[in-house]
Structure 1
């Protein structure tokens, strides 16, 4: 409480004028000491002459300190710049003194008045030394009191480069919490054994649970963007038993006014453990692509749609049209745009299944580009209601694509999923059918239809990360369907960046797939989230295996059977080469399926399986239809890569 009060009110009680007075006292004291040393530590000097010189030196010192302003710095935060200012003040005092004494000796303005050159030199050296030392002593004393009276944390900083040093300064200068930096960790073995501000640099291998326990380490702050996710995972796994918290410094671009605050240091997020570097696209073509365009985004209140809206709002678009049937989330997106000072947008509550409503929106606003992100995406729920999945994912896409074609929209970008590849669920099959429909439509339309496929999005509504967080808050257990299940992951901003980039480079008819690195085992993800929460698996929170859900895959894929890829100018984006389709028959079959009666779920699934030869249900009641379709194909002599031309509509 005492140190908190002192820190809070130090500007009031240790004002700059008090510092000014103390500095003057030091300068006058060192002036006397300079005489004392100059005359062999005795008083064998002209005391009368000395007292004549005192007001002269005092006046010059006052003027010098006021000119340089060295007394204005906050003493407990004294740094190199403050020491430089002290040096300037002392040099100015010595310079003015020497100049005035020289002029007086030459012109005799004041008779019998002089200051020996040796005294001026001694005084300058001693003044600078004592002034600097006084600040250092005060800073050390303040830090010592802070450590004694404030709650303190013992810290290791991962990274001894510029970011590490800035982090060190931000921590040690914190006034609300005392940080004791025990050491720096660095992967450069040449730095091992060296010191920064008296703090040792150690290697990654030295940071063991025993080391952490023996040194009372509370936290490791990662202050280097080059630290791999593998190293972060190793830290989390090795030090979780020692209850060491792992935090991370944000990128330099996110620092406030170019300066780092200790409040900006946040706990390591699950996104940092993806096993790959963050995807960053800084394409100058995007600004030109969207400049002056009227862009319509469906599913604008969803995870991907809302991020697309935010990123598009940063471009010089003519107008943004936000379409979603979820009223409250759409309102939240609208408020975000208002807070960002955006005005060139219109938020519309509408259902993409309502053809007349969609047509009226196109007629009124005349969009030139469409990003279609509206969809039903939850696999188990769609497995129970194929009709609803068809109605939104297929018929909704069909109505929107048809309308876009009719109004000669330049580009239509469809947000698909890796679950459309060799689908094992109703949801995946409906997304694949939507892909097929817009591919067929491309043959007869001026609109460029573009499809983008990617995996799971971290933090999106209904995804595994929010579920795990909620389960951790409730004390567990975390539920995983299978210990071997893996998924591809990317962050919401990454997914949106890649959708925009693919939309920019698309010429029409492509299916773009994204490089998402290695797939992630969900079981490992769950364990890491427990450790990131400062808990232990399985002592604090356990993981329960629940079994695969209906339609769920063990492993996701990005390419279907018979597909391969073409490169683009972006290493992170590839074009899938799909097999040839019988466009007229498939288009007609999809149109017929869209008007199927809602009570004909079995008939809907059977037709989808005949339409999509690679669609084979997994852990679902609809698996029984796979044998029927295979028998049908054998009887008809149909091979998988020819099925599109032979069994549609049968």
Structure 2
């Protein structure tokens, strides 16, 4: 039925274009003659049109003119029409010359005819689209909430176009700092003035919502615009990143609230797609900790490179179920194996690797929560983070894995907590194994990940939703942050670049004060610090005020990727690993204090000591 309907529409469009050919030829002849046409001239014209009409329709078919839908006519459709008309005119001219009719037509006819034909074919299509959009969206009058779009570039044009079809929003104006655009119309909406004037226009137009359509501007500009929106007392939203905007992918459904990530200084990551295709496409890839924040994102990004199979390994049944379902829905063509297991269980790890023979392993399984691992769970942190890494790495060697990428942390540098010390110890395990292995081991350090499980952002949001207070450990606490997709991208990139034994250090950008992060989240929730208090509670066990990415006696060298550097780490002494394994496989469970004492022996730079504490001290308002 659908095919018949499509054929009927194509026939109607071809009939319309046939009439347009006749009208264009007639108009051109009348205009050139500048007088009524004689019966002899009409006969010659009719003969010429009899040749031109089927030829032009045939050329239209070749150019795909009848594959488009008039209701959705766009610039590419108009371009196809113009190319078809020009090509058809050339074909018609040649055919008329062959049959001896060409001398009866002058050069002016061949100029005017395609102009008239293109106008009739393209104009009718645009008129039909305009009528249909008006009938669907234009009769609603004041339907939709009034909204101001901030920005008047390509993203704004696409957004205004899509919002015009929405029953939810009604764009009443645009604001842009470019004076050359002032007073201009974009998709029928006027550019009213600069962004600074939002408070005035919001009051005048009774607007309570604004959408930032400037996805490529610097983070300082986004922060300024958000502050202006706060002053204007309007809810602020934004559109996706520029990469998503290109190609007309901005839709009303993609408009979202501004997130704290939008206010941070993070430049977009550029990936070596060719190198990652060579690394991952057609390969069996295994990810441990696949249900965690980083592991799950690694799985999604690896799947985009079309591996032969994706093997997921995690001990959390629920986390595994969620990522398994997500991958099967988004990548149904890729075989996915979901193996439940503990990285410390050597038999289970060996069974999975023997059965599926992965070419590459990304080891993201770890206990990462600093206070939880510091007290009451120190030995479990050692077992999971160090012994677990050894078990998976040893199996990778035994089953001829080509590349093993270990996800580490900035807390492994001069660690002050058990978690950081165990991650540094796991790095050293990989370094020791590299000396006698053909498997290439790569380690990647990065800082805190925005929105990951256990991070401050979900915690702060819960506290804001409850009405506060928001608890910050120390007014001078700073951390490096990056988004989950960015962290996963750089892990993949490091895996692509590594030759074996390197510790890659990510460019984490500028450190962020945790209290500033809390203030940004309160502001984005359209509240103030008088409504949501910030309280300082003191550093928790194992925490330090700032994180480092390099140890004191390490240095780095650049890589071809601007966001990755290679750290020259301390070498591991021969025979070191045997002594470590004896400690890891001890028969008893050491106390937390014993674990910290022994960690100091294995990781000499591990420091424990007194930490500055504040007890529920209210924060001073930022004003």
**TM-score by structure 1 length?**
0.70
- Residues 1:501 and 2:493 are matched in the alignment: yes
TM-aligned CA deviation for residue 254 of structure 1: 4.2
Q: Which residue of 2 aligns with 1:563?
A: 554
Q: Alignment partner of 2:400: what SS? A: coil
Q: Structure 1, residues 191-214: CA drift from partner, whole Å, max 9, x if none? A: 345554675536656335455434
TM-aligned CA deviation for residue 500 of structure 1: 1.1
Task: Using the TM superposition, name which of 477-486 and 386-395 deviates more.
Answer: 477-486
TM-aligned CA deviation for residue 539 of structure 1: 3.0
Structure 2 CA distance for partners of 1:357 and 1:586, relative to 1, 3 Å: closer
1:588 and 1:225 map into 2 onto residues whose CA distance is 53
Alignment of 1:469-618 (within 5 A): 469-533=461-525, 535-585=526-576, 588-589=579-580, 591-595=582-586, 597-617=588-608
2:350 to 351, 356, 359: 359
Contact 1:168/1:181, CA 8 A, preserved across alignment: no
Structure 2 CA distance for partners of 1:344 and 1:142, relative to 1, 3 Å: closer
Alignment of 1:55-94 (within 5 A): none
Alignment of 1:248-327 (within 5 A): 248-251=238-241, 254=244, 258=248, 260-327=250-317
Q: Which residue of 1 aligns with 2:337?
A: 346
Structure 2 CA distance for partners of 1:594 and 1:236, relative to 1, 3 Å: farther
Structure 2 CA distance for partners of 1:391 and 1:138, relative to 1, 3 Å: closer
- Residues 1:446 and 2:472 are matched in the alignment: no
Q: Alignment partner of 2:575: what SS? A: helix
Q: Which residue of 2 aligns with 1:397?
A: 389
TM-aligned CA deviation for residue 501 of structure 1: 1.1
TM-aligned CA deviation for residue 362 of structure 1: 2.3
Q: Which residue of 1 aligns with 2:150?
A: 157
TM-aligned CA deviation for residue 264 of structure 1: 2.2
1:425 and 1:483 map into 2 onto residues whose CA distance is 20
Contact 2:386/2:423, CA 8 A, preserved across alignment: yes
Q: Alignment partner of 1:549: what SS? A: coil
2:495 and 2:472 map into 1 onto residues whose CA distance is 35
Task: Using the TM superposition, name which of 210-219 and 468-477 deviates more.
Answer: 210-219
Contact 2:266/2:482, CA 8 A, preserved across alignment: no
Structure 2 CA distance for partners of 1:509 and 1:541, relative to 1, 3 Å: same
Q: Which residue of 2 aligns with 1:225?
A: 215
Contact 1:301/1:333, CA 8 A, preserved across alignment: yes
TM-aligned CA deviation for residue 521 of structure 1: 1.6
Q: Which residue of 2 aligns with 1:431?
A: 423
Structure 2 CA distance for partners of 1:408 and 1:212, relative to 1, 3 Å: same
1:465 to 453, 457, 476: 457
Structure 1: runs of 5+ lacking an equivalent: 1-67, 85-128, 622-650
Structure 2 CA distance for partners of 1:593 and 1:203, relative to 1, 3 Å: farther
TM-aligned CA deviation for residue 341 of structure 1: 0.6
Contact 1:352/1:358, CA 8 A, preserved across alignment: yes
1:135 and 1:560 map into 2 onto residues whose CA distance is 64
2:401 and 2:74 map into 1 onto residues whose CA distance is 60
TM-aligned CA deviation for residue 449 of structure 1: 1.1
- Residues 1:239 and 2:229 are matched in the alignment: yes
Structure 2 CA distance for partners of 1:577 and 1:215, relative to 1, 3 Å: same
**TM-score by structure 2 length?**
0.73
Structure 2 CA distance for partners of 1:164 and 1:387, relative to 1, 3 Å: same
Q: Alignment partner of 2:551: what SS? A: coil
Q: Alignment partner of 2:566: what SS? A: strand
Larger radius of gyration: 1
Task: Using the TM superposition, name which of 250-259 and 502-511 deviates more.
Answer: 250-259
